[in-house]
Structure 1
């Protein structure tokens, strides 16, 4: 779920809170944005256009080093955001395939690796986005945010958890709804509908 990625992106900022609390607000915000950013490609080459599991991970290392050597709001934000985006892209390979109903396990495309020049296969440790284990990961990331975060951080964590719970409850019915709506799209617009919705 995008909310799980957002919570883990924020959780990456916890060391900043412990070591340089003056930069914690910007780190939490950047972690949230970085955790969500890759999914901006949802309707244009999803899990390929803005997902860089290898390159983002490699780029995060010098970005974190720069933030340690030269701690400034922008270096900390850049490091946290890039690390969160890298974690998002890499962790997508641990989930299900890129399909409308990933619980059917019919797709062998999890996330595209530009480094390898191919799609990485889904490991299905988290069977699909919105699975109970996905919610468990969201809760796991949220707990420390609720315990040590300030009121704003805790509030965002609660809101993300609430959205996660709703999505988990509606995940399978939503697939049927999307499939129905995709059939109603006019023929002239249909080529712009993501393939996984058209071929459901």
Structure 2
């Protein structure tokens, strides 16, 4: 899935809490956005292994959510949103294709690494590859509740991220041709 789709998933995840506690909406949204993007920092390392924790991340997300429930504050809410979004990002990468640049020509059997078992989880390919038309459709659907619940700069971030998602989808398959070999 696209990084923006992961961000929208995180925003939808925290939206009910933001509605119930509007004073926490901004830290929840910022945490969800950061958490939705954070695992992909490993693009320059071993992608979907170094900072993706699809199984072990659950413990961090539950711990952070428990802390936020026991001691609610903007800081704990933001950390909980970040941890939950990062975990959901890592876990949901198994629903897509592999991390390769051209999964439509040479699909791998590696979606995301499970550090608990020391092996790769196979891709389910419900979303064939990041930027696939079904990924754009999912991102668009997930952006709607995020756009409705959040306001101000967060709503602007959602609108820009959706535009980036749709633009990326239009050029995704051409990116392989445009990418220098050393970057692949």
Shorter chain as denominator, the TM-score bin is: over 0.9
Q: CA offset at residue 105 of structure 1?
A: 5.3
Deviations 1:1-20 (A, max 9, x none): 11111121222221221221
> Residues 25 and 150 of structure 2 are in contact (CA less than 8 Å); yes or no, is this contact kept in structure 1?
no
2:138 is aligned to 137
- Whole-Å Cα distance in 2 between the matches of residues 163 and 24 of structure 1? 23
Structure 2: any 5+ residue segments left out of the alignment?
A: none
- Whole-Å Cα distance in 2 between the matches of residues 134 and 149 of structure 1? 22
Which protein shows a greater Rg?
Answer: 1
After superposition, residues 23-172 of structure 1 pair within 5 angstroms as: 23-104=24-105, 106-172=107-173
Structure 1: any 5+ residue segments left out of the alignment?
A: 186-192
- Whole-Å Cα distance in 2 between the matches of residues 106 and 41 of structure 1? 20
- Whole-Å Cα distance in 1 between the matches of residues 88 and 106 of structure 2? 23
Moved over 4 A (4+): none
Deviations 1:87-133 (A, max 9, x none): 10000000001211112352001000101100110000001000011
Paired residues in the alignment total 183
- Whole-Å Cα distance in 1 between the matches of residues 170 and 147 of structure 2? 23
Q: Which has the higher contact order (CA 8 A, sep 6+)?
A: 2
TM-score with structure 1 length normalisation? Answer: 0.88
Moved more, 95-104 or 154-163: 95-104
TM-score with structure 2 length normalisation? Answer: 0.95
